[in-house]
Amino acid sequence: MHLPMYACILPDLSYQFATQEYLGMIGWQGDVSGVPLSQVHSEEALFELRHGMMLARSKGTATLSWQPFVEDHNLWLRLEIFWNPVALLYTVNAMRTGQAAGRMLFQDPQQGLFDYTPQAVMLLDGDNRIYRVNPSFSEVTGFSFEDVVGQGPGIVTNREISAELFDHLWQQLMLRGFWEGELWNQHKDGHSYPAWYSLMARRDDSGEIDGFVAQFSDISSSYGDQNRYSHASYDALTGLPDEFMLLDQLNQQLLRDSLGHRGRGLLLLQLNSTGEGSGALIAALAARLSAQVRETDLLAMDQEHNFVFVLEDCPDEMTLEQFADRIGALLQEPVDIDGQPFVVHHTMGGVLVENGGISAELMLDRARLVLRTLEKQQGFRLYDKSLGSGTVLSRDTLSQAVSEGWLQLRFNPVYSLQEHHLAAAEVSLALNHPQQGILSPEQFIPQLSRYGLLQDYHQQLERQLLPMIKLWSGFEQFHNLCIRLQDEELFSVAVIEHLIRQMVKVGIPPQRLMIILNFVQLQLFPDEIEELKAHGVLILLDPQQHSLGRLSPQLFPDMLLLNAGLVEQQMRDDRYIRDVETLISMARQNDLEVMAEGVRTTGQMTRLTQQGCVRMSGKYVGRDLTLEQLVERLDLEH
C-alpha cells in the first residue's frame, strides 16, 4: 500500500505537521513542526509553493507540478493544496510519480496524475456519475472501467451514501472545495476495506460545479492506529485538543455516525469571567471539567477559549440537557486561584445531531449561534431551526443578500487621545442576516469569492460609501477611512481604484484612504500591495510579531496595528506586555504611529496610554456607527 504524503502549513508560512513519507520525500531530517518554509526549501521551490498557496487561498484548491530540488531534474511531484478557512490551515497532498511520471506530469499534468499515481482516481460528472478512472483504480478496487462507467460512486463504497452523509460531503465541498476523510469501500471480490479519500469539486469558468474528483487509497495496514490520519494539536494554556484537532476528530466521528445511525451531542461552554487571573481560572477549570467526560467523549478548547464537549451516543435532547445541568452544578462551586475563590459565570449552547449529516464546522457554528441568542449570564439553550442554519451560507442566500439590501455599511470609530477627537474609522460592509444577525465580512467574503459575487459586493461598498466621500472634505480633522481587505479581495484592487477616483473628484487625496493588512498578506501578495501603495493609499499593518527590517520600501507600512488579541492578552498575562512594548518600540524607531484595536476597558486604555499608544478603537471608544451617526458625531466635534 502507498501511504499518503501530506503536510499542514500555517498562514505564517511555517510547517505545523508533516507525515514521515512527506519528510522523506523532501529530504528533511527530524521534526518539522514550527520550522519556516524558508529553512526547508530552496528559493525556487519556495516561490512555486507560495504561489500555489496563494491560489488555494483564493479559490479553495490549487494544483501544481513541483520540483523540490533544482539539482534533481528527474524528481517532479504533483501537489494538491487546499485552504481550510475555518482551521486557517493549508493542507498539501503530494504524489511522487518517478522519473517517467515526472516527465509526463510536466508535459500533461492530468495524464500524469491518471497514469502514474498509485492512488485510485475516478472522475465524476455534474450528475455524480463516473466517466473516467485511472489504472490504479482497478488495482485498488478490483473493478474495471467497464464495470463502473456511468455508475455513481456507491458501486465502490460498501453501502449506499445516505442523504445525511451526502449533505455532509456536499456542504464541505461547497464551503472548502474539498473533503478528506475515511470511508469504507467494498472490493469487487466482496471484502470490505477502509480507504482514505480526498474529494474535490471542479468548477467551470462561471464558478459552477461541473464535476468531482475522487482520489483514495487502501489504508487497511494502518487501520489499527486510530491516530494515523488525525492531526494532533493542543491548546497551549490547558493542554486540551485545540479547535483544529477538535474539528478533525469530530468530522470523522460524524461520518461514522452517519454509517452507524448514532446520535452525537456538542456542548459549548462560554465563560463570562475575564480580566486578571482568567488564564489560571481556565487552566484550573480544564482539570476539573476533564473528570466529567467519558473515555469515548471529547473535551477541547476552541479559538475563542470556550470549552467544547462532544458526547458520543447522545440519543436525545434530555441526555444533553442532563449533562449541561451537571456541568452547570459543577461550575457553581468556587474555583480556588492562589487562595482566592472565583465564582464562574457562564452560558452554554447545545447541538444534537442524529445520524451525522452535517460537518463539524457547521455543528460548532450552530452552538456559537445559540450563545449569541442568550442574554443572561447564566443559562443553557439547545439549538433549533428557528435560529437559522449557521454562517455557512448558500449561493442563493448570498446573492439575495447582495441584491436585496442585507449589506449594511458600518464605521468603527478610531479616537486620538492626543488630539482629542475622532481621527479615523474602520469601514466594513456587514451582512444583516434575518435569522443570524450581523455577520462580519471575514465570515462570508471567502464564500462570496467562490460563488463569483465579490465584484457585486464591492459595487455595494462603493455605492454606500460614496455619500461619506462627498461629505469628507468638510471634516479636516477626520484623517482616514480604513478598509480591512481579506485575502480574496487582494487578487483585484479595482474597488480601491474606484474609491480613489471618487475621492479625487471631490478633492480628497488618496493618502487619506488606509488599507489594513497583516504581515502574512505582505508575503503572499507583494505585487498587489505594491500596486496599492503606488496609487497613494496608506498601509496599516499588523506585524504579527515580525520585524520590519527586511521589508522593501515599496511594502513598508505607514502605521502599525496592535491587534485586539494582544490588547486583551497583556491584561491577562504579563508575558504579552513585552510583545506589546516591542511593537510600540519598533514603531518609534521607524517614526510610525500605532493604532490599538479592540480596546474595551478603562484599564486597557490606561495601560496603552502609558506605553505610548494614543490612537485606539473598540467599545471603549464607541460602538459601530451608521453613516448618519458618524456624520452627526463629526458635526458635533467640528
Q: What distance, in Å, lies between the first and last C-alpha atoms of the chain?
A: 73
Give me the pLDDT at residue 228, please.
39
CATH of the domain at 346: 3.30.70.270
Whether residues 422 and 515 share a domain: the answer is yes
Domain final residue, candidates 222, 255, 278: 222
Whether residues 16 and 149 share a domain: the answer is yes
Whether residues 366 and 437 share a domain: the answer is no
- Host domain of residue 353: 243-384
Give me the pLDDT at residue 428, please.
92
Q: How far is CA 617 from the centre of its chain?
A: 24
Whether residues 411 and 291 share a domain: the answer is no
Whether residues 309 and 445 share a domain: the answer is no
Whether residues 147 and 27 share a domain: the answer is yes
Contact of 148 with 156, CB cutoff 8 Å: yes
User: Domain count of the chain?
Assistant: 3
Whether residues 284 and 145 share a domain: the answer is no
Whether residues 24 and 172 share a domain: the answer is yes
Q: Helix, strand, coil proportions of the chain in percent (round to 5)?
A: 40, 25, 35
Q: Which residues of the chain have pLDDT under 70?
A: 1-4, 58-59, 69-76, 86, 96-118, 158-172, 174-182, 205, 207, 220-233, 255, 257-261, 273-277, 355-358, 375-378, 385-394, 435-437, 638
Whether residues 196 and 275 share a domain: the answer is no
Whether residues 416 and 522 share a domain: the answer is yes
Give me the pLDDT at residue 99, please.
33
Does a structural domain hold residue 230?
Answer: no
Give me the pLDDT at residue 273, please.
62
Does a structural domain hold residue 236?
Answer: no
Please, where are the H alpha helices in 72-199?
98-107, 109-116, 135-141, 145-148, 163-176
Does a structural domain hold residue 548?
Answer: yes
Q: 381 forms bridges with which residues in the sheet?
A: 349
Does a structural domain hold residue 227?
Answer: no
Domain final residue, candidates 222, 253, 283: 222
Question: Looking at this protein, which amino acid is placed at residue 33?
Answer: S
What tens digit of pLDDT does each residue of 239-252 get?
888 887 888 788 77
Domain final residue, candidates 166, 193, 222: 222
Whether residues 213 and 169 share a domain: the answer is yes
Most distant CA pair in the chain, distance: 82
One-character DSSP codes across 144-159: -HHHHTT--GGGTBSS
For residue 382, give the C-alpha cell. Answer: 439547545
Does a structural domain hold residue 403?
Answer: yes
Q: Where are the beta strands (DSSP E) in 172-330?
A: 178-186, 192-203, 209-218, 263-271, 298-301, 307-312
Length of the chain: 638
Whether residues 332 and 369 share a domain: the answer is yes
What tens digit of pLDDT does each residue of 256-288 get?
766 566 789 999 999 876 555 577 888 889 888
Contact of 608 with 594, CB cutoff 8 Å: no
CATH of the domain at 626: 3.20.20.450
Give me the pLDDT at residue 511, please.
93
In the chain, how many H helices and how many E strands? Answer: 22, 26
